[in-house]
Structure 1
Amino acid sequence: MTKYINTLFTLIGTAILFTACQKLEDRPLELVTEEFLWDSKDSLGTNAGYFLNSIYADLPTGYNRIGGNVLDAATDDAVPTEDGTTIASFTNGGYSAISNADNSWQSNYASIRKCNLFVQNFNKVHFKKDPTIFIQGQYWRAENRFLRAIFYYELAKRYGGVPLLGDKVLSLDDDLKLPRNSFDECINYIASECDAIKDSLRADPVPASDYGRITKAVALTLKAKALLLAASPLNNPSNDIARWRRAKNAAADVIRLGVFSLEPSFSNVFLTRKNSEVILAYQRNVTTDLETNNAPIGYVSGSTTSRGRTSPTQELVDAFTTIKGLPITADIKSASNLTGYDAANPYANRDPRLDKTVFYNGLPWLSRGVETFDGGRDRPGGSVIQTKTGYYMRKFLGELASSTAYSNQTHNFPIFRYADVLLMFAEAKNEVDGPGAATDSVYNFVRDIRRRAGIQAGSGQNTYGLTAGMSVADMRNTIRNERRVEMAFEEQRFWDIRRWKIAESIYNKPLHGIRITKAGNVLNYKVEQLNTPFQFFAPRMYRYAIPYSEVVKNTNLTQNEGY
C-alpha cells in the first residue's frame, strides 16, 4: 500500500453525500495520508467515515450515464435521439473486448479495492468507549461489506464469473494472475455476504439523517436480485427449480420485513427523497439536469434549451395496456366498448403510467401541450437533433405541466424498490409453483402494482386485466410485460432480456416510432419503421467481453465466449 492513498481523489467531493455540513479538508488534499485516514486518536472515526462515503459514491448512478444516454436506449424501449452516440454500439453489434461504452471492470475493481482498504485499516481507529459510537462502527463495517458485494454483483451480471479477492489488497509483489471464479461461486459469495451482515446493519425504516445508508432490507434485496439472476434461463439452462425457490424465498424475506409498501403515487416514487417504496437510491443533489437532458427539444427554461436525448419506441408505448389492464390488441374500442384502444386517439384510456413515462403528442408540459406532429415545436424537422420516434422520455422528471420554467427537483436514482421485489417474488414463485388460484400471491402482487398504477379493477374472472386460470407461460409473459412498463428506464430491461435469454429475438427485428401529420385540427397517426440498426449476435453478446487490456496482462483470465 502506498504512503499516499491514490483512491482519495474523489474523497472530498463525494463526502457531501452524507456529511454535507462537515469538512475534511483542513490540510492540502495531496497530503491526506494513511495515518490521517486511520488515525487511532480519531475517536469518532470521522476521517474513516469520509472514506466510506467515497465508496458510497461508487454506487450505480443511472441517469444519462453512458455518453449522455440512459441504458434503456440500448434496448427495444428507446433509441438515442442523437446519431453517433457510444451507446449505439450495443444495438449495432459494435462492442468488443477493446471498446465497450459500459466498461465497468476497472471501476468496480477499484471500488472493491477501496472496500478492502477499509477492511484492512478500520481496526486501527480506536473509537471512544461510547455505545452509540461502537454501534456506528459496527454499521460501517457491515455497510462496507455490502458495498463490496454489490460491486461484485455489477461485475457478475455483466461478465459472468470474475476473480474474487476476499479481503486482500493486492500489491505489485503479489501474484496478479488470478483466474476467474465461476458465476455460481460469485453469486454464492454475494448471497453469503448479505446473510453475514444483515443483522449488523441498521434496521428499517431509518430516520431522514440516515436515508441512503445500507440497511438490512437493502442487503436482503441484493441477495434476492443475485439469486434471481442465477435462477434465470441465461444462468440456469436446465431450469433447476431449486434455484427459483432460493430466489423466491429471498424475495419473501424482504416482503416479510413488513417495512416497505407501494407508494400510493407512482410519480412520488421518483420525486421524493424518502418514501415507503424506495429501498435504496443513489443520493443526488436537487437539480434540473434530468429535465434539461430529456424533455422535448422545443422547451426552453431560462436560457437552457431541453435536449430530448431519449426517444422511446412504439414498442414500449404499445406495451402499456388499456385502462382495463388488457393488451391494446385485445381491447379495441367499439360501440359497445367505448374505453378500448382507439388507433385514431391512441393515448386515451391507457394505463396511467404511460403519461408518467413517455412524452407523447398533446401531453401537457411547461404550460403547453407537447407537439411531436410533423412541423410541431418538438419535431420541427430539418437538421435539429430531435426525436426519432415521435416520443421523448418523461419518467423521473418533475411535475411541471403547469409551470413556466424548470425548478430544482429530487432525482435520486432508484437502485432497489419494493415494486421490483414484488415482481421478483411473483416471477420466481410462478416458476416454482405456477400462478395458482386467482387469490394466490402471484396474482395479488401483480394486481397490487396495477392497482397503484390506476388500472381499473374490473369484475368477475378478470380483475386488473388478470384472468383466473392463467398458465405458467401466460403469467410469465404478463410478469415480464409488467416489469417492462413498471420499471421502464430504471436499467432493468437491458439486463432482463439478457437473463431471460430472449435478447436475440428482441434485438434482431426492426423498431418503430409514430409519424403524426396534422391537417387542420385533425391528427393522423402512422406507425413507421426506424432506420436505426438493431442487432444482437448470440451467444456472444449475452455477456460483456473481459477487457482486452486485462486478458493480455493476466493469462489466467479466460475470455468470454465469442470474443
Structure 2
Amino acid sequence: MHNKIFFKKRVIVVVLVLLGMSATQCRKFIDVVPDNVVTIDNAFTLKREAEKYLFTCYSFLPAENEPIGSLGFIAGDEVWLPKDGFLFANTNWDIAKGSQNKVSPIYNLWDGNNSLWVAIRHCNIFIENVKDPQKVYDLEPELRSRWIAEAEFLKAYYHYYLLRLYGPIPIVDKALPISSTPEEVRISRDPVDSVVNYITGLLDVAADKLPPKISDVATEMGRITKPIALAIKARVLLLAASPLFNGNPDFAAVKNPDGTLLFSSSYDQEKWRKAADAALAAIEAATQTGHKLYKFIGLNKMSDTTRTQMNIRNAICDPWNAELVWGSTKNVSLASQDPSYIQRICMSQIDHRAPINLAAFNQFSVPLKIARLFYTDHGVPIEEDKTYDFSAFNAIRTATKEERFNLAEGYQTARLNFDREPRFYADLAFDGSVWYMQNSVTESDSATYTVQGRKGQRNNEVNTELFNITGYWVKKLVSWKWAFSGTVNAATSENYPWPMIRLADLYLMYAEALNEAAGPGAEVFTYLDLVRERAGLKGVKESWSNYSNSPGKPDSKEGLRAIIHRERLIELAFEGHRFWDLRRWKEAAVELNTPVTGWDRTQSEPGDYYRVVNLHNQKFIAPRDYLWPIREYSISVNPALVQNPGW
C-alpha cells in the first residue's frame, strides 16, 4: 500500500487562468505565483483532497535511486557506463563527461521541467491553506499540525537541494499573489548564510510537530518524521561548515547587482560545532525511536565471512530495517525488467542455469580508483598497509581454499582483489569474486555463484549493449533475494526503499564535524569505530598503530580528517553521497580530474585481461564546476539575478 504514496507524481490538475502578458512574463523569472485561486480553494475543502495536495508536494522529491536521473550515480566518477546511445543517451552522464553548459543546463532544477521552485510553490500553497482553520473542515487538529509540518519540511528540503546545486538562492517563503507584477517576481539570490539559517529554522519548526516515528506502517512508511527533519538539519549545517561554503576565497567576490555579498569571505570554526550538535541531536532522536546499526540475523548456513558481508549488503537491501532513518519509496516498485530499476542496472548473469538471461543489464561499472579506495583487511588504505605490497596491483594470483568465501577457489585474479576488507567483497563483484545469494545452488556460501568476467566467459558480455566496461560490478545495491527465471529474460527480487539517511551516515557526519570543531577526541573515535566494527574492522587507532606506515595519522586533525573522509566514501559508496561530498570538501578538482580506468575486457587470458585501460579523461574546471549554472536566458530576463562564477 505504501508504495502507492510516492511512486507516481500525483499533481492536482488545475485550470490556468489566461493572464495578460505581464503574468506570462512573471513565470519566466521564477515560478512562485499560484495557479487559479478558485481551483486551489476546491483542493482544500475536504481532508481527502488536501492529502492529495500534500502528496503533490512529496512527488517532487528527486528519485535518488533512479539510475538515469540521479546525480549521485552517473554525474560523478563512482560508476562509469559502457557506451552512449543505449540507456544513457542525453542523461546526467553527460555531466561526468564535461558537457554541462549555461545555455541549456543538464539537470536544470531552476527553471527546467522539474523546477524545484514549482515544488516550493506547491508547499507554500498547501501550508497557507491548511493553516486556515476555515478550510479542510474535517481535518483533525493534530493531523492538521502534522501535515503542515510535513510540507514545511519539504519546503526546507527543496531549498536545501537547490542550495547544494546553485549555492546562494532566493528564499521563497510565500506564494506570491496571482496578480504579482513582473517587478515583484524579479527576485534576487540571498546570501548562503541567510539561506542556511532559513532552512534550519524551518526544519526546527517542522520537527517540533512531526511524529517521532511512523505508527501506520501499512500506509505511511516513507513519510517524514522528527528524526528525519533533525538529520537533514545536520546535513545542511555540515554543508555550511564545509570548505565549499565556509570562507571559500573562490567565491568571496560574488555579489548581487545591488552589491550584496552572497558568500561569507571568512572562515567560521563555530559552524562545525553547530553541525556536530545537530548531528548528535539527530542521532539521539533516531536511537530513541529504535534505530540502530543493521546486523543480519538470517538463519541461512554461512560462514562468518559471508555473515559480515550480509551485515553490509542488507543494511541497504533489507526493507525498512532498523538502520534506515529515512527511506524513499519513489521508484522502488518497478518490475525487474524495467531499465530504470536499479537492481537490474547493477546485476550480472551469475547463474549458470540462465546464461543468456537478459534481466541483468551489467551497466554500472566501477572504475579502478574506486576499487582501490577500499581498505585492506587490516582496516587501512592499500598504499599505507606496511604488511602488504600492492605495488604490482594487477599481478596474477590464484585464490586458495581459505579465501573461498570471497574468491572462487583455484581461480586466477588480480592482486588488487586479495586481502581486502569485507566492504570490498560486499560492495563489489569482479572477475573471480563470489556473489552469494539466498538461492545459492549449494544452499550455502561454499561453491556458490561466482563471476567470470574475461572475454568468452559468462559475465563478459551478453550482447553488444549489455556489458560491464571496467570489470567491477556494484553488488551492494542488488538484493540477495534476486533470482533469475530460468532461460526467460526475467527475474524476481525484493524491492527496498532507497536509503536517503542511514544511522551510519549520521555517525560519520557527527565524527567529521566533531573532529573539525575540536580535533581528535574519544567521541570521534567512538562513532567512527562503531561503523568500522559493523564492517568487520578494528578501531581506527588500533588499525593504524598496528598496520599503517603512518601510525600517527589519527592523532592530528588533518590526519583524522583524511581518515574520516575515506571512511565516509567507503561506507556510503554507491549511495549517491560521493558526488556531493567531493564538492563540499573542495576535493572534486582533484578526484574528477583523474582518468577513469578499468581492466581490458577484450582479453581472455588473465595476464592480458588485467591490463589497465584508460576509458575517459575527466575534466573538472574549478571553481566553475562546483556550482550549477543558471540558464543563460533566466539571467537575461531578470536583471536581479547574478550568474555563478565561471559560467
What are the within-5 Å matches in structure 2 for residues 313-462 of structure 1? Answer: 313-331=367-385, 332-333=387-388, 344-361=414-431, 362-364=433-435, 368-380=449-461, 383-400=464-481, 406-436=491-521, 440-456=522-538, 462=544
Q: Return the offset for 1:14.
A: 11
In structure 1, what is the Cα distance between the partners aligned to 2:621 and 2:52?
44
Which amino acid counterpart does residue 267 of structure 2 have in structure 1? Answer: N
Q: Distance in 1 between matches of 2:627 and 2:7?
A: 38
Point out where structure 2 has 5 or more consecutive residues left out of the alignment: 17-37, 248-265, 296-310, 390-401, 442-448
Contact 1:163 1:179 in 2 (8 A): yes
Secondary structure (helix, strand or coil) at the match of 1:150 reads helix
C-alpha spacing 1:373/1:430, structure 2 compared with 1 (3 Å): same
Residue 6 of structure 1 corresponds to none
CA distance in 2, matches of 1:400, 1:464: 38
Once the two structures are superposed, the pairs formed by residues 102-501 of structure 1 within 5 Å of their partners are: 102-106=107-111, 107-122=115-130, 123=132, 124-128=134-138, 133-171=140-178, 173-174=180-181, 175-204=184-213, 206-209=215-218, 210-237=220-247, 238-257=266-285, 258-259=287-288, 260-264=291-295, 265-284=311-330, 285-287=332-334, 288=336, 289-296=341-348, 304-331=358-385, 332-333=387-388, 344-361=414-431, 362-364=433-435, 368-380=449-461, 383-400=464-481, 406-436=491-521, 440-456=522-538, 462=544, 470-501=555-586
DSSP 3-state at the match of 2:416? coil
Is the alpha carbon distance of 1:70 and 1:375 closer, same or farther for their aligned partners in structure 2, counting shifts above 3 Å? farther
Contact 2:483 2:493 in 1 (8 A): no
Post-superposition offset of 1:247: 0.7
In structure 2, the residue matched to 1:54 is: 56
Deviation at 1:240, TM superposition (A): 1.6
Q: Residue 18 of structure 1: CA displacement?
A: 7.0
C-alpha distance in 2 between matches for 1:543 and 1:460: 39
SS in 2 for 1:312: coil
The code of the aligned residue for 2:499 comes to P
Using the TM superposition, name which of 318-327 and 30-39 deviates more: 30-39
- 1:277-315, Cα deviation, whole Å (9 max, x unpaired): 111121144442223222236876996442222111111
Q: Deviations over 1:347-366 (max 9, x none)?
A: 23322222332221133367
Provide the aligned length of Structure 1 versus Structure 2: 531
8 Å Cα contact 2:379/2:543 also seen in 1: no
Tell me how large the CA RMSD over aligned residues is.
3.4
Could you tell me whether the CA contact under 8 Å between 2:313 and 2:427 is conserved in 1?
A: no
- The reply on whether 1:508 has 2:560 as its aligned counterpart is no
Give distance in 2, aligned partners of 1:242 and 1:61: 33
Corresponding residue to 2:104 among 99, 103, 120: 99
Change in Cα spacing, 1:143 to 1:301, as seen in structure 2 (3 Å) is: farther
> What SS class does the counterpart of residue 377 from structure 1 fall into?
coil
Greater Cα offset, 69-78 or 105-114: 69-78
Q: Which residue of 2 aligns with 1:557?
A: 641
Name the CA distance, whole Å, in 1 between partners of 2:617 and 2:366. Answer: 15
Structure 1, unpaired ranges of 5+:
1-12
CA distance in 2, matches of 1:80, 1:24: 33
In structure 1, C-alpha distance between the alignment counterparts of 2:543 and 2:78, rounded to whole Å: 31
**Cα distance per residue 1:75-107 (max 9 Å; x no partner):** 232212223643343233320112333222232
State the alpha-carbon separation in 2 of the partners of residues 94 and 115 from structure 1. 33
2: CA distance, partners of 1:54 / 1:214:
14
Query: Paired residue for 1:542?
Result: 626
| More off after superposition, 302-311 vs 409-418 | 302-311
Percentage identity across paired residues of the two chains: 28
Q: Residues 168 and 15 (structure 1 numbering): CA distance in 2 closer, same or farther, change over 3 Å? A: farther
Deviation digits for residues 527-547 of structure 1 (CA, Å, limit 9, x no counterpart): 514231300111111100012
Q: Aligned in 2, Cα 1:558/1:350: closer, same or farther, shift over 3 Å?
A: same
User: For the Cα contact (< 8 Å) 1:513–1:528, is it kept in 2?
Assistant: yes
Q: Partner residue of 2:94?
A: 89
Match of 1:350, SS?
coil
